[in-house]
Amino acid sequence: MILTDSSTAAAQQLVKLAIAGLSHDHVHGAFQRLRKGDVVLVGIAEADKNLAQRYRKKYYLPDSVFYKSLPALLKQEKPDAVLAFNPIAEHLSVVEACAPLGIHVMVEKPLATSVKDARRMAALAWEHNINLLTNYETTWYGSNQELDIMAKHRIAIGDIRRMTVHAGHQGLKEVGASPEFVNWLTDPAKSGGGAMMDFGCYGVNLMTWLMQGKEPLSVTAITRQLKPEMYPDVDDDATIILEYPEATGIIEASWNWPFPIKDLEVFGETGYIQALDEYTLRTKTNGEHFYVTEEVELLADPYQDYVSYLVAMIKGEIQPDQDLSSLENNLMVVRIMEAARESAREGKKVLLK
């Protein structure tokens, strides 16, 4: 059950959350997680009446929880944090509304469409002492966390030399994304680009984490339109190459995969690790003739999902510090993604300084 009456004694003991926007299909995951009842949902800001009505019926929500805008919601309620499920270009407006009120913000990936917006958001977060977090599905994969431990402690593979990420699916329309989601994801002004922004940021986020926040020397990107009749205004296939002093990262992002995929491969001096999916890790070291495949355990509380992580942060139990959700990591992600767009547009490698 999703609690919505913030005036009850029970609700007052819970972390209060609000939702900004319903046009991002990942919001379904938030509603499913909120059913656990360890938080209270105090409001939803959504200007589209038809969209709001659809969610009201699906999740049996009262009319009183809906507001036409985030400022209107914040005049009535004081949530501890706001979850943003609106177009990427509107993340800035969420932070502008929340930060001066001391309200934490978690946005869906990526943080922003431009370095300019990302820096403005960061400045507001620092000025008003709020946490500004970015949520990626792959953050909560036990396989990725286990891979990171092995890589950073040089278990079995030595220093990292090459990283590869495949991320994507068959296409937005092909997998049944909602019309509202497709509308802004295929609008470069609202999303920042097509498949490269949508899925390339996963790889950049993971590689920035594995490289412990280091900036790459250069970024090279190639984008294609394999289905221009379906996605005429944005790319639907992309390759991004990140060059570090001692390692290379290759990100393959697409709305043209034959099936959904989010995997991570790391080659080291003496071995190889691959997070095949959320639960599966595959390794091979120098001298071994066979791959070793194992199932990894679910992450412990509060790292099994973004709501649990956000609640623990609000309660002061954890502090984001260069992790996958952190502002530091995601400022770098936006910087790299902006360089990737420039590289694809100009047809040349972009050097970072």
Burial 284-315 (b: 16+ CB within 10 A, else e): beeeeeeeeeeebeebeebbebbbbbbbbbbe
Does 219 score more than 80 pLDDT? yes
> 91 or 6, which is more confident?
91
| Dist CA 255 CA 188 (whole Å) | 15
pLDDT in the model for residue 254:
98
pLDDT in the model for residue 97:
98
**Residue 61 CA: distances (Å) to CA of 14, 52, 53, 55, 57:** 19, 10, 9, 8, 7
CA angle 94, 106, 139 (to 5 degrees): 150
pLDDT in the model for residue 3:
40
Does 278 score more than 70 pLDDT? yes
pTM above 0.85, yes or no: yes
Verify cis geometry, omega within 30 degrees of 0, for the bond prior to 216.
Answer: no
Across residues 331-353, what is the average pLDDT?
97
For the chain, residues classed under CATH 3.40.50.720 are 9-137
**Domain 141-300+321-351 grouped into CATH 3.60.10.10:** no
The CATH homologous superfamily for domain 9-137 is: NAD(P)-binding Rossmann-like Domain (3.40.50.720)
Across residues 297-316, what is the average pLDDT?
94
| Dist CA 336 CA 353 (whole Å) | 11
| Dist CA 72 CA 69 (whole Å) | 5
Cα 316 to chain centroid, rounded: 22
For the chain, residues classed under CATH 3.30.360.10 are 141-300+321-351
| Dist CA 90 CA 108 (whole Å) | 11
* pLDDT tens, position by position, 117-148: 999 999 999 999 999 999 999 999 999 999 99
| Dist CA 160 CA 270 (whole Å) | 9
What is the side-by-side order of every strand in the sheet holding 39-45? 66-67, 39-45, 15-20, 81-84, 104-108, 132-135
Average pLDDT, the chain: 94
Question: In the chain, what is the greatest distance between 2 CA atoms, to the nearest angstrom?
Answer: 64
* pLDDT tens, position by position, 178-206: 999 999 999 999 999 999 999 999 999 99
pLDDT in the model for residue 12:
53
Do residues 195 and 236 make contact, with C-beta atoms less than 8 angstroms apart? yes
Across residues 145-164, what is the average pLDDT?
89
- In a 3-state reduction of DSSP, which class is residue 264? strand
| Dist CA 54 CA 260 (whole Å) | 26
Across residues 14-38, what is the average pLDDT?
95
